[in-house]
Structure 1
């Protein structure tokens, strides 16, 4: 198959907005580390239960998730243009790498192939509904994938196109529930896994509100982090100091009401500052609030 023939059948993103599944933004489904995570990720808040089990290459990472964002954006764009959609999507590997801000060398294509393997082998069991249906079986993010190669003039084989079939749960969420939110293209510039996860939470829970506040232990759970609070806090402080999340600022402080309560009870004021009393604040940048006001 020639490169010209391949291009005739490929979906791509040109000027379409980037979309992410709201459930994937709200709950922890992906590893935040680049080293293989072989320990299952379990989240249970009493209402929603999620268990993510690793394949032989570990749990799919938040960088692997770029594939799902890209595909969700393609499906949403086709729906917006009243075009038919299907769980199987064929797209240009080069366009994917370009949109997600990755290189175009051999290593970039190898990493994309690794992402397909992890997305296929990671098993998810969840009670989150999709199109009013609850999944009670395990599924992978993608059911199948196929790589289409072509030869260059020098005889070298290159990845020309990718074909993946989404799991039915996610496809229903995008195509039927329209359970998507627009995300900032700068998301792909974030190299730190925690920064990507914090941006997702900010976009989903804060949006255009003045602020969203969450306790530190609850935030760690929402991130699906394997780190204890004493190791998580330095990473969070770095995120706060860098202050480079698209559209949002983050700050951290102790709940002043808790301090007053401790003082009234006559307890040692030096012991009130526990991890449970740390609050993490998410606030939109001024440009986001201005944009929201202009659209009203």
Structure 2
């Protein structure tokens, strides 16, 4: 692939829906922190086991996952247009940065390269099936990646194109299982790792239903957070207060008896309730087709 040929056959996303893999939304595969996470991430609910092991730069982060979402969206778009698909995708680096809401400066390209390194070096071992095949071996999110650089008019080297080969497990999930969901592009605007994870879970479990509730300890497990529960709750309360998740509201509910309590007393009861008594509730935002549901009806 020469510099002059680079732009002739690169995939780009133009007015196509953004797609995510359902399994990647359901289970905690990615680190929620930007600092390198070197501690393995293990999730086991008795039915599905996921173990994620770090590479030299740590476990792939939920921001690195943007690359996988972009690739899944390209593959899905080609399928829906009746075009052939393959595990190796060649794409315009600038387009990826645009679609995922990143800058286009030198630092943005450096971060993209770091993301590819982590996606390649992170090792996943899981029992989740894809195309009726149960994966019991370790694999990386991507098998290989290649970056093509060329000099711009100012004589500086710039990232012109990228080539990434997905792992078999994820490729089968997208192409054969069609295990994808449309997500709101505003997802890429979320700056907190926990916000992104909560949106994924809301989109996967709540969808367009009236509501979805989950106990706080279970939510912590499904987020794969390294935070102690008390610090996780502080971050969660911040997300609740800011109410910035695309498409969904989020609130905390305490199962403690509240009969006869004043509003202030109920608030304090929720604040100091044990983790086992706290339930996190998600419900869709109001749309022209769907009137707003009173929070009191949920909590």
TM over 0.5: yes
- Structure 1 CA distance, aligned partners of 2:74 and 2:39? 32
Residue by residue, what CA displacement relative to the aligned partner does 1:231-255 show, whole Å, maximum 9, x if unpaired? 1000000000110100000000112
1:187 partner SS: helix
1:147 partner SS: strand
Residue by residue, what CA displacement relative to the aligned partner does 1:100-156 show, whole Å, maximum 9, x if unpaired? 000000000000000000000000000000000011100000000000111112221
1:112 partner SS: helix
1:287 partner SS: coil
- Structure 2 CA distance, aligned partners of 1:63 and 1:112? 10
Residue 99 of structure 2 corresponds to: 99
- Structure 1 CA distance, aligned partners of 2:164 and 2:255? 47
Shift of the 256–209 alpha-carbon distance from structure 1 to 2, 3 Å rule, reads: farther
Residue 157 of structure 1 corresponds to: 157
- Structure 2 CA distance, aligned partners of 1:113 and 1:290? 42
The alignment's TM-score, normalised by the length of structure 2, stands at 0.91
Count, aligned residues: 281
- Structure 2 CA distance, aligned partners of 1:138 and 1:242? 39
Equivalent residue runs for 1:212-227 within 5 Å = 212-227=212-227
- Structure 2 CA distance, aligned partners of 1:46 and 1:76? 32
Query: Is the 8 Å Cα contact of residues 247 and 288 (structure 1) preserved in structure 2?
Result: no
> Which blocks of at least 5 consecutive residues in structure 1 are unaligned?
261-269, 292-296
Q: Does 1:54 align with 2:58?
A: no
Query: Is the 8 Å Cα contact of residues 52 and 123 (structure 1) preserved in structure 2?
Result: yes
2:90 partner SS: strand
Residue 29 of structure 1 corresponds to: 29
The alignment's TM-score, normalised by the length of structure 1, stands at 0.92
- With 280-289 and 65-74 compared, the bigger mean Cα shift is at 280-289
- Structure 2 CA distance, aligned partners of 1:142 and 1:255? 43
> Which blocks of at least 5 consecutive residues in structure 2 are unaligned?
260-268, 292-299
Q: Which segments of structure 1 move beyond 3 Å, counting only runs of 4 or more?
A: 1-4
Residue 246 of structure 1 corresponds to: 246
TM-superposed CA distance for 1:290, in Å, is 2.7
Residue 140 of structure 2 corresponds to: 140
Query: Is the 8 Å Cα contact of residues 208 and 288 (structure 1) preserved in structure 2?
Result: no
TM-superposed CA distance for 1:273, in Å, is 2.8
Residue 89 of structure 2 corresponds to: 89
Query: Is the 8 Å Cα contact of residues 21 and 173 (structure 2) preserved in structure 1?
Result: yes
- Structure 1 CA distance, aligned partners of 2:280 and 2:59? 27
- Structure 2 CA distance, aligned partners of 1:33 and 1:171? 26
2:160 partner SS: strand
